[in-house]
Amino acid sequence: MKLFSQIVSQSTPMAAPVVETGQQRLKGRLVLDELPVEIVVEIATNLDFEGFGSMLGVSSFMRCILQKYWRYILSSIIEREFTPVGLFFRAFETGEVTGVGNRSAREWLGRLTGVGGGRDGRDREMDRIMNFCRGVKLWEAEFQRFRFYDCDVGEMRLMNGRERERFRRGLFIWDWFARVHHAGRQTRRTAEPVAFMRRFSTTELHELNDVWETVWAAVGREVCPSVTAVMEVIGDRSLAEGIGWGDGEENRQILGTVMKLGPGDLLRLLVGGGGRIGGREGLVRWIRLSEPWIEDTTEALSMAVLSVRHEREKMMGMERSPFPVEGFPGRYGGVLDHEMEESEELRVVHGADGGREGPYSGRYIRGSGIFLIGGVRVGKLVAGTD
């Protein structure tokens, strides 16, 4: 105790403050800008997408290096975080092409030469694919909220890696379909959306249906609610009619029209952009400016999926589908893991029955699906109008 008191009571001489220069502060420390280029590239290659985006903002020197080697870096990130790679690039590129192929991300990115060539074209191409990746990441986060909306609090959770990949597959197919069959003025025959869907397996169509129905429900709640839904909240019919988007079949027709906007525009509406556009009238004006022909064309995705499912069930002699069409968003199935192991095994059983190599190839009847597709009404955005 005496020794302790002596130690505490001894005065300690104060050292003079040391003022370090910039070079002294950096001496012996790892400085990213001073690393060899190949080490910087290797570090960036092993980052996740968010980390790569942050690294681009470290310094102009760092951004210059990363922009030069961005194809090499992003190919590794895409193969880790944005699978399935083939569908990722089909959704990213415009125009319809046959099959989804087995190219690696590096092979896909090697085909992107940049708009106009040169450094500016290279930078624009990188920015374009980076923005696409950001959209996919934002969709992943928002979809979890939509998917578990009707579940009890105890059942809400984050999607696991398998479920996120299934979601991305459904999202990419939807985006690809929207670019081909919902964008612009439709001049294609009504059977072509059905032919588009035949290339995908029944398992993939089930995942797509889950994504589509879940987003449809979210748009119906947060963007274009029915008059009845609004009245349940505010309790005044006259006010509800001024806010809601029709009722019953008319509301469903409006929802189908809005869903033709595609994932990019719908994401903007669902994350809060709709409220800033200017109410119902402003939103109608914005939609018409975005897609001038949207009210003159049909929503083809839902019926194309249903048509292919009916075709396959008839060929197989099944009395009912192995995957239920209804029930999304629910606790199990589709993008989410099934409750029972037996149901989960159906993903494998029906996971390779699409495309030219599938068991249904060559057995489709020419023109089949036109009846189901033909029953879809043209677009509509304003309730009470023909």
Summarize pLDDT for 180-200 with one digit per residue, the tens: 888 766 655 556 888 899 999
Of 51, 72, 53, the C-alpha closest to 63 is 53
Beta strands in 125-260 (DSSP E): none
Q: Between 274 and 138, whose confidence is greater?
A: 138
CA angle 108–111–116, rounded 5-degree value: 140
Report the chain's mean pLDDT, rounded to a whole number: 80
Average of per-residue pLDDT across 259-265:
91
pTM check: above 0.75: yes
What is the domain partition of the chain in residue ranges?
31-135, 162-374
CA distance linking residue 60 with residue 68, whole number of Å: 12
pLDDT tens track for 340-375: 888 888 888 888 888 766 666 656 555 455 444 444
Give the angle subtended at the CA of 247 by the CAs of 146 and 211, to the nearest 5°. 25
**pLDDT exceeds 50 at position 286:** yes
- Answer yes or no: are the C-beta atoms of 172 and 143 closer than 8 Å: no
CA angle 185, 205, 224 (to 5 degrees): 55
- Give strand pairing partners of 378: 298
Distance CA 128, CA 130 (A): 5
